[in-house]
Amino acid sequence: MTKPVFIAGPCVIESAEVLDCVAERIADINRRLGTEIIFKASFDKANRTSLSSYRGVGMEKGLQMLADIRSKWGLRLLTDIHESYQAAPVGEVVDVIQIPAFLCRQTDLLVAAAKTGKTVNIKKAQFLSGEDMIYPYQKAAESGAKEVWLTERGNSFGYNNLVVDFRNIPAMRAIAPRVIMDCTHSVQRPGAAGGKTGGNREFVPAMALAAKAFGANGYFFETHPAPEKALSDGPNMLRLDDLENVIKSLIQ
């Protein structure tokens, strides 16, 4: 059986203090449970709901902060890109380059990410089926990516709502050897919180277990020590204090 991959961290880089707090907990969980949780944080959130929403610290500063996390805590790193020119410098720092769901059909972005030779994690768009992801997968695989992972994160269901069709997981397992469940973005309520995205974090543990039943072999959690104070995606982020128990439920 393939050992599951875990990805966890704050939605966006807010401060060195928040990064350090989350990374310390992740490193501790890895040490005690024998897992390898990849640390995730975004240097820029280019698809925020409102122009006034916090986006991040920018690429140059953000990559340095991520490199500091690797140096201090020995964690592998994942971050996302939104523009092709970001791929090369990001590939110098992180282990996995992530393609946001809205951008998973952007050929130049996929090719640039793959040409770094790093692993590329492609999130399935909210408007695509699992079967549709063969085309983004092929673009990255044929352009030189070390590995290509696919991630389920729900489909649009009317306005301001998502629903997860768990049949997408086995459909994508037929395409890619690694299929990840994004357990936190899948409980979002897009744009449903007055210019911000809402969410229902109480469903995150159940989303993870349901995905496991359907054959997922990776799990993505955005997590924060105080989600109610987070600058992005707070309503759907898992509380840092709850992360370990959720991971335990998936490796038992």
CA dihedral 16, 22, 23, 28 (to 10 degrees): 150
Question: For position 30, which CATH number holds?
Answer: 3.20.20.70
Residue-wise pLDDT tens digits, 113-141:
999 999 999 999 999 999 999 999 999 99
Residue-wise pLDDT tens digits, 16-72:
999 999 999 999 999 999 999 999 999 998 876 677 777 889 999 999 999 999 999
At 98, is the secondary structure helix, strand, or coil?
Answer: strand
49-58, 71-80, 188-197: lowest mean pLDDT where? Answer: 188-197
Residue 81 has pLDDT above 90, yes or no: yes
Range of the domain at 45: 5-251
Domain count, the chain: 1
pLDDT at 56: 86
At 4, is the secondary structure helix, strand, or coil?
Answer: coil
Backbone angles phi, psi at 107, to 5 degrees: -55, -50
Distance CA 53, CA 191 (A): 12
Tell me the chain's radius of gyration from C-alpha atoms: 16
For residue 173, which of 125, 204, 137 has the smallest C-alpha distance?
137
H or E element that contains 87: helix 87-91
DSSP assignment letter at 12? B
At 20, is the secondary structure helix, strand, or coil?
Answer: helix
- Give the rounded percent of residues in the chain with a pLDDT score beyond 70: 95
Residue-wise pLDDT tens digits, 196-241:
567 788 999 999 999 999 999 999 999 999 999 988 878 889 999 9
Distance CA 208, CA 206 (A): 5
* pTM of the predicted model as reported, rounded to 2 decimal places: 0.93
Distance CA 220, CA 183 (A): 6
> Using an 8 Å Cβ cutoff, are 188 and 233 in contact?
yes
DSSP assignment letter at 194? S
- Provide CB contacts within 8 A for 138, sequence distance 6+: none
Distance CA 186, CA 195 (A): 19
pLDDT at 30: 98
